Amino acid sequence: MTKTLGIIGGGQLGMMLTEAAKKMPEYISDVIVLDPTPKCPAARVGAKQIIADFKDKNAIVELSLQSDLITYEIESGDSKVLESLHGEVSINPSPSTLKIIQDKFLQKQFLRQNNIPVAEFDAIESLEDLERKIIQYQYPALLKARRDAYDGRGNFKIEDHSQIHAAYQQFSGRDTMIEKFVDFKMEVSVIAARNIHGEIATYPLVENIHKNNILEITIAPARVDSKISAEADRIAKKTMDVLHGAGVFGIEMFVTKDDKVLVNEIAPRVHNSGHHTLQSSKTSQFEQHLRAILGLPLGSTNLKHTTIMCNILGPSDFFGKYKPISLEQKDGVYLKMYHKDEAKPQRKLGHFNVVDEHDTKDVEKLLEKTRQIKNSIRFIQN
């Protein structure tokens, strides 16, 4: 019997999950998303939409009544409400997994307890507590909001004693934690999947370049030696083993200057650094997620070609409606826009993948091509 898929969140990730679902009509007949923005990206590609806040209890219940299985594209859904529904509708990743991941402190504790390497961290209870603990952590150190953080907005890098107060103030009223600053050589990630039967699959390690705390470029595969990619893969598989949840997870990691691999954070969902899979792999991360939660065998995660993904962000001085962006037709370049009406500085509006279809393996050249394309994109008021 075909199923109705409910997704909490209908942004670009929900949109690409919807597109993947539409290619699996033998399993999924309908997609409904819960999202507060009318005509959200997922609705633009054919999902039905309940217009409400992600944490709106009645709306989540309504979504569950209309769906056979529920998943999410954001980690901020109300895990308590979801927990109360569990049993009546299948929810993956499970609300108990979501609950651990939603709180960066609980998440790191969970990882440490399972012997998965992470940077040193501790919960912060008060300003005095922060003042005390930072002496042990030394400068710089990071103060992080434990919940509802993304694109670096929940982080404050404390460089010296004079910034302690400002850092604490920034997250006033929110639970926080302190974390040792990792002087990393590279940021990398593994997109991993686990289906409801426990089968695990990982995509090859990718390299992530951030600008202003937002992912700018992903290079697949990462430019590291095979020892490091094997270690990252081992850590990712172990993480999936202990987490129990089903679905795709984005596992962000640091490679330190002395070649250690540390987990930074886990996203319980498809991940921006997995967008390259739309072209680089036989199974995209979106299809993989649906396979995982439907209980189908996981698809191949082999990389067909070296691929670079580049995010298209709203420029710093541009607000409001913009003309649809088109890219010059170039070999091996694939554009995906997210159908967002209005641009805002740093808002993710689309991405493009540059695929090394002739297998030159010349990453420098591919990067140059990527940057050229990025710089040629113009935003024009509509």
Which parts of this chain interact with ligand ADP (CB under 6 A)?
A: 119, 142, 149-152, 154-155, 179, 181-182, 187, 210, 213, 252, 264-265
Report which of 298, 247, 285, 290 is spatially closest to residue 93, judged by C-alpha positions. Answer: 247
**Nearer Cβ to ligand ADP, position 52 or 149?**
149
Least CB distance from residue 22 to Mg ion, whole Å? 29
181, interface contact from ligand ADP, Mg ion, none, CB < 5-8 Å by kind: ligand ADP
Least CB distance from residue 19 to ligand ADP, whole Å? 24
How far is 60 from 68, CA to CA, in rounded Å?
13
List own/partner pairs for 107-114 with CB under 8 A and 24 or more apart. 107/265, 107/266, 108/177, 108/179, 110/242, 111/239, 111/263, 111/266, 114/238, 114/239, 114/242
The neighbour count for residue 170, using CB atoms within 10 Å, is 16
Q: Please identify the residue of the shown chain whose CB is closest to the bound ligand ADP.
A: 182
Least CB distance from residue 262 to ligand ADP, whole Å? 8
Cα angle value 97/272/199 (rounded, 5°): 45
How far is 76 from 115, CA to CA, in rounded Å?
26
- Give the up-direction half-sphere exposure of residue 99: CA atoms within 13 A in the CB hemisphere: 10
Least CB distance from residue 118 to ligand ADP, whole Å? 9
**Nearer Cβ to ligand ADP, position 31 or 182?**
182
How far is 302 from 291, CA to CA, in rounded Å?
16
**Nearer Cβ to ligand ADP, position 83 or 151?**
151
Report which of 147, 20, 1 is spatially closest to residue 71, judged by C-alpha positions. Answer: 20
Least CB distance from residue 179 to ligand ADP, whole Å? 4
**Nearer Cβ to ligand ADP, position 179 or 356?**
179
Stretch that binds Mg ion, among 209-217, 219-227, 246-254, 345-353 (CB under 5 A): 246-254
Structure tokens at 75: 């980690």
182, interface contact from Mg ion, ligand ADP, none, CB < 5-8 Å by kind: ligand ADP
Least CB distance from residue 369 to ligand ADP, whole Å? 25
Stretch that binds Mg ion, among 62-70, 112-120, 156-164, 250-258 (CB under 5 A): 250-258
- Binding stretches for Mg ion (CB under 5 A): 252
